[in-house]
Structure formats: structure tokens, C-alpha cells
A = this chain, B = another copy of it.
Amino acid sequence: MDTMPRKPIARDAVLDAFEALLIEVGERAATLDAVAKRAGVSKGGLLYHFPNKEAMISALLERMDALAALDIEAMKAAPEGASAFFIKSSLWADTPMDRVFVAATRLAEVAHEETRRRFAGIQQQWLDVLAEEVGPEMARAVRYMGDGLYFNAMLEGGPGANASERNADVGALLAAVERLRD
């Protein structure tokens, strides 16, 4: 057996560390030194897996695309409807999908073009699914509400910050979506 290519775990550990640092301390502090230290390897060890920082970023974006594809499928299949699913999942709940997404946002903010392109692609997919449910116009309203949730959670510094308040906000947004659905 074992003909399937097996993912090296050290590589994933490095990627996890990079992701965590982007989320917790921002792009500027996610240096090769810091990533290596957090992943428990030396800088040289890290650079064996990823020849340079760009390669590490690319790997993160691959991870994001893969998880986003799963998310889109879940959204299409959601029993409560795509809009409600979308709003709920816009609450930064620290799922694997949330984590890559936020980490990648930190890169987009620093004007990393490739990251921005990937975002645009994913958001278009979300919008398409929403439009199927509530029409193209209300789909935009729903999308922007979700984006706003993300934006605020990020500005406040993470899933922990003001969690109860934001939970209440999700309730308000779901109510708004109900009204828009009619």
C-alpha cells in the first residue's frame, strides 16, 4: 500500500505556525525566525521545506482554496439556507477555514496581489451561491454583512475579543436576513 503521496508533518507544522502568527501578531511579526521558533525547528530547517517566504505564502493560499471549496459545498447543502449559513460562518469561530482566511487577510492588507486575487475568486463563489437563494441584489447585502462581521472581528483582534457582543450581532443579522428574504 501507501502509494498515496503522504504529506510531511513538519511542513504542516511550519504552515500552522505561520498561520497562527499571522492571526495573533500580524504580518509584520510573522518573520521566518518567529515561525521557525514556534514550529520547533531552526530557520535552516524551515527553509528546507520552503525555499523562501513566498513559497510559504503560496502553500497557505493553497490551503485556503482547498478549505474554501469545502465551505462552498457545505453552504450549498445547508438546511437553514445559504444566507443563514453564510452569516453564521462569518462569525470568526476559529475553525480551520476561519484561521486560513484571517491569516491570508493579513497578507492581502499588505498589498500582496496574489492573495487578493484568490480572495476575489472565493468571494465571487459565495456571491453566486447566495444569489441563487435570494437573488443578485439581496445577495450583495448578505455578503457585505458577513464581510463586515469579519472586518470587525479582525480589527478587534480575534475570535475571543468581544465574543458575546458579536454573538448578539449575529442574531441581529440573521433577523435582518429573514426580513430581506421575503
Contact = CB atoms under 8 A, between A and B. Distances in A.
Interface string A30-49: 00000000000000000000
A119 B152 CA distance: 10
Given A116-B156, A140-B173, A145-B148, 12 more contacts: A24-B111, A108-B155, A109-B154, A137-B175, A138-B172, A141-B176, A144-B144, A144-B147, A144-B148, A144-B169, A145-B145, A148-B148
A180 interface: yes
A10 to B, nearest CB: 27
Contact of A169 (B108, B120, B140, B150): B140
Across the A-B interface, the 10 shortest Cβ-Cβ residue pairs: A144-B148, A147-B148, A141-B176, A148-B148, A151-B151, A26-B111, A140-B172, A26-B110, A137-B172, A109-B109
SS class of chain A's interface: helix, strand, loop or mixed? helix
Interface in A127-182: 136-138, 140-141, 143-152, 154-157, 169, 172-173, 175-176, 179-180
A111 B29 contact: yes
A157 B65 CA distance: 21
A28 interface: yes
Given A26-B109, A111-B25, A180-B176, A141 B137 contact: no
A116 B147 contact: no
B141 A145 contact: yes
Interface of A: 24-29, 105-106, 108-111, 116, 119-120, 123, 136-138, 140-141, 143-152, 154-157, 169, 172-173, 175-176, 179-180
Contact of A155 (B29, B105, B176): B105
